[in-house]
Amino acid sequence: MVSLSQVSPHQDAQPPDPPVRFTALRGPALLAQPALNKDTAFSPDERHALELDGLLPAAVETIEQQVRRVWDGFQRLGDPLARFLYVSGLRQRNLTLFHHFLQQHIDAVLPVVYTPTVGAVIEAFSHTDLPGAQGLYLTPELLPQLPGLLRRAAPDGVDLLLVTDSEGILGIGDQGIGGIHICQGKLAVYTLCAGLNPERVLAVTLDVGTDRPSLLSDPLYPGLRQRRLRGQAYDAVLDSFVAAVDAVFPGAFLHWEDFGSPQARQVLDRYRQRLPSFNDDIQGTSVVAAAAVLAACRGQGVRLEDQRLVIFGAGTAGCGIAKRLLRLLQARGLSLEEARSRIWAIDRQGLLLENQEAIPPVARPYARPAGDAAGFDTDAEGRIDLLEVVRRVRPTVLIGTSAVAGAFNQEVVETMTAGLGEERTSGGRRPVILPLSNPTVLAEATPADLIAWSGGQALVASGSPFAPVRHQGRERPIGQCNNCFVFPGLGFACVAIGATTVSEAMIDAALAALVEQIPASRDPERPLMPPMAHSQAVGAAVAEAVALAAVQEGVARLATTAEEARACLQRARWHPSYRSIHPIMGAATATP
């Protein structure tokens, strides 16, 4: 087996990207290796020495020339799914060029390889021949073989595994093994935004079945056509997987993705002390949403503890946001009960109240005393709906994680805006509205409608990308509450410094770093999130903040000082640029 790795960040030394790669591969076998393939960028000497003569066009091109050609082809494709197939084929063929292309055209390409296009890609998984779905597909029957399968999938080692059981994909729910594409998309974002080495990551889907009837009855669905494992059988799969990772890749970072509720919280709590673990749906989403709220408060000159916060959708993401806000409120001196009094959570049964029996355990901490709803009107089914909560509570912040398209309708927005009329006049208070559900078709409202219905008052950030909104002759860019502003920098920092855990203080540091990068924190007329083109700068700021927090807490194996932490980050950062490739004889293992 030909080694393609750099020195692992989990070892004691981390050299910079070496200028030379060595390989025993020749001819077509070399061109089939995406981590080494340079296509037309191979020099004449390399072509001769590596037996590539005649296998490539005559021109020797730079990576910039190649990117121009890829961009021309990308622009010729109007359909997002066709564009996904195009860039996935590039990723499968030439890893360096793929990442260089993504880096040069972030605004156009990121929505294709990541949200919102990836949702449609996942839904089409069973009926489209999609390239780029490489990864490890683990069924319960494979549990005894897990250590060997991990070594075979990543013979040179892994620093980060992105793992899903695909039960809670985006806003589209259980998608079986199609969730492998969300893992691949987020791994690309790790490299784009933070510089994580794409050769030392692994996408894993835990195929424990599916409860989606359309997949169970579909003869073309390639995963297990059986109901999802639950209880002890499900736990056994997770236990075996984590034990195997710990044995084969000790210290590796586990990124848990799109697990259903309540499994998401249970999995995170169960394994976060075993290996450094992070759940993006719980922790990443909570950080970007809380950062937007804090930036809006700072920009308006108001305090977080004076806000009335309504969260519409009390699932994994909504409860994660509520927990993050509680932590922030308590950090500002409020008691737990005082902090809870600032938050109103709404789910399928309406406003969550303590006397309700059907509240999931993950949401119960955010149910309010029944007396808080005295005098509230209910609908025909006895629920207190969103509009009634907005009427009575007069929220200053409204957050949507419901996947209920159009839930923030005109009456809700106008009522919220009118409810703040006096406060807006006396204290500069403006409604903060975050429709975070994605993909785009599931957004609680469009930014254009929110701005129009609020008379231009609403401060808006969305979960999916939206075009700028023109209101009263002025164009307002719409910030996207995209988790790519958090998880890449956080995960990369943990890998680079050898973090032994992901502490709450490290996540707090990521949040604080993101707030500093948000334009609205300095001027409420500016966006509530940084532009996507700044995602690399944001990733670097988050990574440094997380690394320094880890050092301060003593949970960084490779650094004990701030200077050492920054050096670790610099050494570990991968750059999408070609390196000279030299041949070696025979089948000996290559070294950088």
Rounded to the nearest 5°, which phi and psi values hold at 22?
A: -115, 145
Catalytic residue among 38, 86, 186, 190: 186
DSSP string, 8-66: -TTSS--PPPPSEEEE---HHHHHT-TTT--GGG--HHHHHHTT-TTTS-S----HHHH
Distance CA 81, CA 76 (A): 13
Give the number of other Cβ atoms within 10 Å of residue 369's Cβ: 13
Which token pair is 164? 């899903």
Exactly one of 114, 271, 366, 578 is catalytic; name it: 114
Nearest in space to 189 (alpha carbons), one of 265, 264, 91: 91
Whether the ω angle into residue 213 lies within 30 degrees of 0, i.e. cis, is no
Amino acid at 297: C
Q: Provide Rg for the chain, Cα atoms.
A: 25
- Give whole-number Cα distances, 360 to 353, 354, 536, in Å: 12, 11, 38
Largest CA distance in the chain: 83
* C-alpha to C-alpha distance for 2 and 22, rounded to whole angstroms: 9
What single-letter amino acid sits at 116? P
Under 8 Å between Cβ of 8 and 200: yes
Which three-class secondary structure string do you get for 431-484?
Answer: CEEEECCCCHHHCCCCHHHHHHHCCCCCEEEECCCCCCEEECCEEECCEECCHH
Active site residue 186: yes
Is 190 tagged catalytic?
no
Residue 361 burial (CB < 10 Å; 0-12/13-18/19+)?
A: exposed
Cα–Cα distance, 259 to 265 (Å, whole number): 9
- What separation, in Å, do the N-terminal and C-terminal C-alpha atoms of the chain show? 14
Instruction: State the catalytic residues.
Output: 114, 186
